[in-house]
Structures are given as C-alpha cells and as structure tokens.
Structure 1
Amino acid sequence: MVELKSGRWRAAVAADRGGRLRWLGQSGPGGREPWLRPLLIERTQLVGGGAVRLAPPSVVPEEMGHLVPDPAAFDEPWRITQQSPDAITLMLHPRSPSPGSWGLQASQTLRLDEHRLDWSLSVRNLSRMPMPARLGWLLHFPDDFADAAWLDDSLDVVKLSGRDHVERRDPWCGIASLSGAGGRIVLLRGEAPLDTLSFSRHATRSSVQVGLMTPDWPRLVPLARGEELTLNVSIDLLVPRTPPLPRVPPDNPSGSPIL
C-alpha cells in the first residue's frame, strides 16, 4: 500500500489490488476520518474504496463479441512507475486470455492536493480491431451520503430510499455532489467522454455506489486500433467551516478605570 499526503489529507492506494483507492480522508486530533468507505476483504471479495473500471457494453453485436476485453483485467496488480509524496502513477499490461484477439495497455495517475483528488485513466488499444468497452470509475461512500445528492444541473435533490433503486443520468452533465453527515460535501466532476452516472445503495452493505462511465450502447464508440483514450475525474471533499464568533465590544472601551 502507498500513502499519499497533502496537508492533513491522506489517500491510500493498493497497487496489488487492481490499483484501487483504498482510503481517502483527513487526519486530525480525533484520528482519521474516512470519506470513502474503506476497502476491505469480506468473504474473499473486495468491498468499498474506489477503482477504475472496464465494463462490456450492454449490447454487443455477435461478430464483435470476441473483441470485448475481460472486465477482470483491471483487477490484476498494477505496477508503480512514478511516485511522489502526493501523487502516484501506475501501469497495467493485462494478460490476454487468447493472444492476438485483443490487447490493451492502461495507466492511472492519482494526485492529492489538500482536499482534492485528481484521478486520470488512460487506455490504449493494442489489438488489431476496434475495442468495444466502457471505461470509468466505481466509488463507494458511507451510507449517510444516500440522504441528499444533486446529480445534474437541475438542482433537484435525490434521496435513495431503498436498495433496489438506481438513479441514472445518461447523458450526465459532468458534475454531481453528495451531502453526508455533519455537512460534509463530496463534489464530483468528470470530463467528456465520461458522461454516464449511476447512484445507488449497495445491495447488501451499508454504502452507496457512484459509477462514472463512458457511454453505453447505442452511443458507445469502440476504441479504434492503436488509439488511446484518457479520462479525468476530480473528487473534492468539502468540510463545513464554523463561522467566527462575533466580537463583543468591551464594557469599557475607553480603558478608563471603572469607579
């Protein structure tokens, strides 16, 4: 595990766990307070944290089915290529199940700047054919962030009432915010072609999931042979500030003795 530091803020990255963001939050007198649901292993499954994702389209023409890369490829260990106190870059050359059918190269960079995390993902298609796949992120936050969210520019408040409900924005405007306990705000911003959003409660665990992905069918554009696609997302963690108490004038501003 590698820890990034910027001021009081910390981010932990697990390169050997699919390059996942294991922990994100701030340290203070009372200890560390996580903003993401920390990454844990429960019943041999990885739960929580944040991760770059590779997903097949919901519709794949039969003649292109063999060109869809394995979604589990991103779960392989990533190699650290650059590292500083507040940033890390990781590289992935996944093992192809059938050499020559498809291939890709991926890199991700995480940079922590106080309460802001900038995260980029680049994927290059090394195969001889277009690559039909969706790319993006899956982020897990504590369950209290389910009570109020703004997922688009309409300013309508969204509240998740049950585990079987999924809020979707397709296309997504590129900005969303979640409100948690104590006035905490998570501000998410993504750049095109990152333009679909899903927001839901985890099916069995006390967390909410935010998926930020490139378009699905029919707007999906397969990544052309030899082409590279770069995606960017930023996560701002906003802490409420207590306004200063009003200054009370002294009973005797002149400073003369009171008789």
Structure 2
Amino acid sequence: MTTCAPTLLELQCAVRRDLLGLADGDASGYVVSDGLAPQARLAIYRNTANSTLLTALKLTYPAVQALVGSEFFEGAARLFIEQCPASNALLDSYGALFAEYLAHMPEAASLAYLPDTARLEWAVNEALHAVDAKPLDLQRLAQLDEADLQAVRFLPSPAVRVLESPFPVDAIWRAVLSQDDSALATINLAADPVWLVIHRGPLGVEVSRMAKGQCRFTAALLAGRSLHDALADVPDAETSVWLAHLLASGCFVDVCLSNQASSRTIGRQDT
C-alpha cells in the first residue's frame, strides 16, 4: 500500500506547526534522516526561527532590554515566543502583545513602569513601519461650510499613535536609549501622568507630551469621532490651536463628512 505524497501546502503547514512547537506539529514523517534524526533536523530550523523572533523583539524593545538586562529579557522573550508564536512572516508586526505579557509576568512585577515602557516602544515601532501616506492638503478644509463643520471627520495617518501612562515613560525611554544614567537617576516615578503623541514626521518618529484634554481630543479624532463631538467633550479654548498643530504635523490624511444616514468623502485626495 502506497502513501500519497503531501501537497506543498500540507507540507508547509506541517513544517510550520513543528517550527512553532505547536502540539499538533509533526513534520518528521516528511523528513529524510540521512544520518540525522528527522526531529533533530527540524530542531535546527526551530532554533533558527526562534532566534529570528528573539532578534525581532530585541530590535523593537531596546529600552526594555536595557532596563531588565539581556539575560532576563531573553528568558522572558523566549517564554513569550513559546506562548505567542508568529502569525505571519512580517517581523515588524511581531511582538504586539509583549507589553501585556510583561504586565502579567510575576518576575517583572517590581518594575511597574516596564509594561508602559514597552507600550511606548511598540507605538514607536508601529509609527516607524507604518505605510507612507500623503498628509491632508489643508486647502481642502476651505471647502467646508458651517454645516460641514458639524459632521467633518479626520482620517488619521497610519503613523500616529497616542499613549497615556501614570509613569514618565518618555523620559525613561530617552534616558535609557541615550545611556544617560544621571538623567535616569533624576526621574520621579511618582510624578504626574504623561499623555503622549507618537508620530512619524519628515525627521523620523517623534514622541511629544500633551495635556490631558489634548490627549482626549486627539484620541477621539483618531477613533473617527466627528470634530463637533470631539470638541464637545473637551471645551477648551486652546483646543483649536492644538488641532492646528495636529494638522500642520501631518497627523491626518483625509477628511470626510458623515451623519446618521450616510458618509461621503470631500474631494478625496490620493494617498
């Protein structure tokens, strides 16, 4: 009785499950021993795959690694890789859940600021690798009449994020990456919370602080709420100035009008 050869897809899926260490992974039946056991051969590729994911995490979270040390970081990263295998081949997208993993890791509990530092590094990573998009042409806003302004929504740039933390994670991040021990020593973890906007501009990724109201307003616009609703939640006379700053910084790529019944784009521009 002959056994049908697997299709290429079946073979790839079997090898993938084995490389990721999944319970149902067993590609050894498709591997010729030739002096080395099939599982030993597969282990070579599994180690290579894990090393690649470990390198990806190191590149994304350099400040976290510096804060906890290489040995601790590698141990935590390898456990994370076992529990959260890669879902695609795009390494820049791997590690989104690492901050949450650190937040629930008992060994890291004494470093309460560590998860938010990781969240900041992930936001920087997302902004850095986001697709390019042409900033909104501010002249197009002149097309809006008073009624339009009640329903206008801003479509965010793929390279902008907001983050709130009870810890000064931006100061920690900068001090660690610049290896400025004196600056790190002066950081007060009990200081006021920080609200951050992370955005990739012409000079690279920028991390800037903003006021709490500005953060609420920015987050509302990024979430797709209308300008009218976002302003209603933050009745601050300075909000219009902050909006001008966001627009000038290229944080939006398009505008559209929407109401309860329909949504339409105003003279949509190519991105």
Interval of TM-score (by shorter of Structure 1 and Structure 2): under 0.3
Give me the TM-score of the superposition, normalised by structure 2: 0.23
Higher Cα Rg, which structure? 2
Bigger proportion of residues as helix: 2
